[in-house]
């Protein structure tokens, strides 16, 4: 957005321009389940997320998330969880990639599958921007007006997906032979290059143990039955 009078560096982000943060949770059909907009662009994603109502609701077990259930052909209950990038703290309800140079096969498989799943939310933002071109240019409105425009666009985004669920052609896809990600056409827009990673109270040990379990599960013989 355009630099606001007397705002200083309040909205200035690490990418070198002024902005407001849109934080959203998307489902597997690219619809937004939770949206919060208005935090200043200079804030860190992880810190911003910790100030949102959804974070507090999950921490206090008031979010309505389903109870843990075992995977197919297994007996260990696994909590339902969000998928986030490295900006978010690892929790049993927030899984992210395992970043280190010496990943074994199971960890590489887990990281690949998690990356594919995370592409869903990237595509959700890509669809939003492609349909509402105001997000592809500098917005000159007052921050309160920008917040309202963004919230309205997110609502319309969901309504369009409900009305035309098969009308999307620009999404990422998976090559059936190589299983490499084929980037959707929306990623070629130069304005959207910054959207391209492509790449209760619980202890940190609980979260690490859960991520380790998730990385082992695809290697179990029972998983392929």
Tell me the per-residue pLDDT of 10-19, one tens digit each, with 9 for 90 and over: 888 888 899 9
* Mean pLDDT confidence for 120-141: 90
CA distance 149 to 108: 40
Cβ neighbours, 10 Å, residue 14: 8
- Prediction pTM value: 0.74
Higher pLDDT, 157 or 65: 157
CA distance 104 to 47: 31
Q: What is the pLDDT of residue 191?
A: 57
- Average pLDDT across the chain, whole number: 80
Say how many Å lie between the first and final Cα of the chain, rounded. Answer: 52
Banded pLDDT at 200 (limits 50, 70, 90) = very low
Quick one: 179 exposed, middle or buried, by C-beta within 10 A (0-12, 13-18, 19+)? exposed
Q: What is the pLDDT of residue 220?
A: 59
Banded pLDDT at 142 (limits 50, 70, 90) = very high
Assess whether pLDDT exceeds 60 at residue 3: yes
Q: What is the pLDDT of residue 19?
A: 92
Instruction: Please state the separation of Cα 215 from the chain's center in Å.
Output: 20
| Most confident by average pLDDT, 21-30, 42-51, 96-105 | 21-30
């Amino acid at each position: 957005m355009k630099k606001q009078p007397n705002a200083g560096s309040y909205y200035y982000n690490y990418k070198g321009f002024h902005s407001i943060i849109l934080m959203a949770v998307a489902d597997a059909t690219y619809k937004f389940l939770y949206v919060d907009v208005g935090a200043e662009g200079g804030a860190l994603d992880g810190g911003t997320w910790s100030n949102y109502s959804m974070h507090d609701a999950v921490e206090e077990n008031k979010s309505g998330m389903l109870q843990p259930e075992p995977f197919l052909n297994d007996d260990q209950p696994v909590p339902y969880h969000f998928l986030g990038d490295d900006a978010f703290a690892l929790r049993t309800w927030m899984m992210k990639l395992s970043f280190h140079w010496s990943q074994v096969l199971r960890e590489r498989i887990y990281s690949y599958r998690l990356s594919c799943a995370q592409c869903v939310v990237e595509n959700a933002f890509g669809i939003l921007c492609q349909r509402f071109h105001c997000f592809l240019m500098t917005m000159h409105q007052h921050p309160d007006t920008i917040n309202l425009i963004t919230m309205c666009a997110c609502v319309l985004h969901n309504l369009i997906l409900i009305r035309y669920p098969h009308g999307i052609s620009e999404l990422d896809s998976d090559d059936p032979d190589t299983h490499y990600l084929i980037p959707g056409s929306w990623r070629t827009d130069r304005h959207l290059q910054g959207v391209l990673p492509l790449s209760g109270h619980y202890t940190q040990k609980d979260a690490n143990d859960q991520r380790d379990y998730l990385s082992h599960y695809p290697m179990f013989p029972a998983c392929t039955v």
